[in-house]
Structure 1
């Protein structure tokens, strides 16, 4: 958890939502099917007012080769039952791979949706998980590090998502884990360098699924080269019945600024009805 992520919100709106700025205009490109090894927008503890693009796939600075770890378990080797009410210590603080980064190299990862499937079938039966009521992009708690290639000397800024036990949404999908989606009020707190282990641990709980929903999509998304909004078309009902616009319908209409006229995106397979 999680398998893929969608980054759709235009750069200007993403900057406004997180009160931070990209180093230059035109840096962010829409990516419906963000996969391991691809860039994803982050805000780090060291630069809380800047949005940067890091490689999704964590490699610690001391590694001999790139490791591409997309997730880091909050409980470490503990909570093997993936109990959502787990009250024990967070083993991530003792994991050699992550113990430095969780203390001093935390970040938030900016996405519009995540894609995951059941534990066994994985992306052969994918679902898109998203915030309903048009709430827009959200932040996943992460850790990062910079790895230098031993031969070329090239620097790679890498990131992993923190995961916890699953919740009602992921359990309904059939998955036992979930990314640590932060409440809006906790986003800046996660980046606070003064937090101690106890305070960080208190934030690493299954995310509140109120206000989130999910629906099944085509398994075409399991191909890393596949992209485009059509990948997010629903092929079944939402997990939770509501009267909000579905995620796909919401992003058929896009604009860089709320005051401009929104244009419907042309998506393969859609039909137009004149009335």
Structure 2
């Protein structure tokens, strides 16, 4: 199946200067902090830079704004097509929707955190903010495609890759987004020289212990809530028990985990 259960919301609040420094960008346009990014919305991606000479900025590396929800280039009509905002790393090389992008159009998706919902039994789903311990920006592994609409217009799109959860995330959900470490950016983006198998090996470098989970309020559930207050930690008295990796289950009825 193409459908994925996560990553369904994330955040990018780093400054343009921080992003330019992290990815070795010569130039970058200003963009505002975003606290509740959802599928179908525009997201920032980084592409190019296959020249692996040790230089900063990296030659050819640049940013794009794309629709979060990949549309394969071979697609004739997007009406009724699933919203592919995630791609399973274990099977992407075999799927028609992702195979060409994995070979030719890999990208990086800058982020500062993401959201996940935990359900235990019949209890209401509990939202968590997951961020690196140092709160610095990082990069999800992404796949990019440009779709030619019937009216001749071009739509740039992308999906975020996922894998089995580990570490702190495994106590909340069974899947997690793939993170590419900074030292592997060139290897992931270099589609000219690195075959899919080499690139996929890079998806195993960062595990769930990279993140720290913080229980937050249910305000994050609504896409319309886009302010920094949605990331405020829930008061300790309202948090309930800590996640238990054996008891935790993904929220089966949370819309943010479904491809529509």
Considering the TM-score relative to the shorter chain, is it more than 0.5?
yes
1:116-127 pair list within 5 angstroms: 116-118=116-118, 124-127=125-128
Matched with 2:130 is 129
Aligned mates of 2:36, 2:124 — CA distance in 1: 12
**Higher RCO (CA 8 Å, separation ≥ 6 residues):** 2
Instruction: Verify the 8 A CA contact 1:6 1:32 in the aligned structure 2.
Output: yes
CA 1:231–1:192: 2 relative to 1, 3 Å: same
Matched with 1:20 is 25
Question: Can you give the 5+ residue segments of structure 2 that lack an aligned partner in the other structure?
Answer: 1-5, 50-58, 244-260
1:245-256 pair list within 5 angstroms: none
Matched, 1:72 2:75: no
1:80-159 pair list within 5 angstroms: 92-118=92-118, 124-134=125-135, 136-151=136-151, 153-159=152-158
Aligned mates of 1:18, 1:138 — CA distance in 2: 9
Matched, 1:61 2:96: no
Instruction: Verify the 8 A CA contact 1:3 1:123 in the aligned structure 2.
Output: no
For residue 211 of structure 1, report the CA deviation from its aligned partner.
4.1
RMSD, aligned CA: 2.5
Q: Give SS of 1:36's match.
A: coil
Question: Can you give the 5+ residue segments of structure 1 that lack an aligned partner in the other structure?
Answer: 77-91, 241-275
Aligned mates of 1:159, 1:9 — CA distance in 2: 20
For residue 186 of structure 1, report the CA deviation from its aligned partner.
1.1
Q: Give SS of 2:224's match.
A: coil
Higher deviation after alignment, 92-101 or 194-203: 194-203
Deviating beyond 4 angstroms after TM superposition, the runs of 4 or more aligned structure 1 residues are: 119-123, 236-240
Give me the TM-score of the superposition, normalised by structure 2. 0.77
Q: Give SS of 2:219's match.
A: helix
Matched with 1:178 is 176
Instruction: Verify the 8 A CA contact 1:107 1:144 in the aligned structure 2.
Output: yes
Instruction: Verify the 8 A CA contact 2:165 2:208 in the aligned structure 1.
Output: no
1:42-53 pair list within 5 angstroms: 42-45=45-48, 48-53=60-65
For residue 114 of structure 1, report the CA deviation from its aligned partner.
0.7
Q: How many pairs does the alignment contain? A: 220
For residue 169 of structure 1, report the CA deviation from its aligned partner.
1.4
Aligned mates of 1:105, 1:39 — CA distance in 2: 18
For residue 22 of structure 1, report the CA deviation from its aligned partner.
4.7
